[in-house]
């Protein structure tokens, strides 16, 4: 669940998340439902190819708040 993001090891942001997916370190990926599809769609495709579960039911603001950062987050990968 999204409340777990504050305590779990994670990376925040598109570049870091894509790197974690590529390296096989990502266990779950959260994509913001209100993020630009041009940004999150390639990440979703990478997750699908790697068999990583994706959650897309939260906004950028909710993901940012769950990660305890002051800005929104389009992508968060739990390691």
CA distances from 72 to 36, 46, 65, 67, 76 (A): 12, 22, 7, 9, 10
pLDDT digits (tens), the chain, 79 positions: 677 788 889 999 999 999 999 999 999 999 999 999 999 999 999 999 999 999 999 999 999 999 999 999 999 999 9
pLDDT of res. 50: 95
pLDDT of residue 1: 60
Residues sharing a CB contact under 8 Å with residue 68, sequence separation 6 or more, in sequence order = 6
Assess contact for 67 and 6: CB atoms under 8 A. Answer: yes
Domain locations in the chain as residue ranges: 2-78
CATH of 2-78, one of 3.40.630.30, 3.30.1330.30, 3.40.50.2300, 3.40.50.300: 3.30.1330.30
Give the residue ranges of DSSP H helices in 1-79: 14-22, 37-50, 60-66
């Amino acid at each position: 669940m999204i409340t777990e993001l504050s305590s779990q090891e994670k990376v925040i942001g598109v570049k870091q998340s894509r790197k974690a997916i590529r390296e096989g370190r990502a266990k779950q990926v959260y994509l913001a439902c209100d993020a630009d599809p041009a940004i999150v769609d390639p990440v979703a495709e990478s997750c699908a190819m790697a068999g990583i579960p994706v959650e897309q039911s939260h906004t950028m603001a909710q993901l940012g708040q769950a990660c305890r950062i002051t800005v929104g987050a389009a992508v968060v990968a739990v390691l």
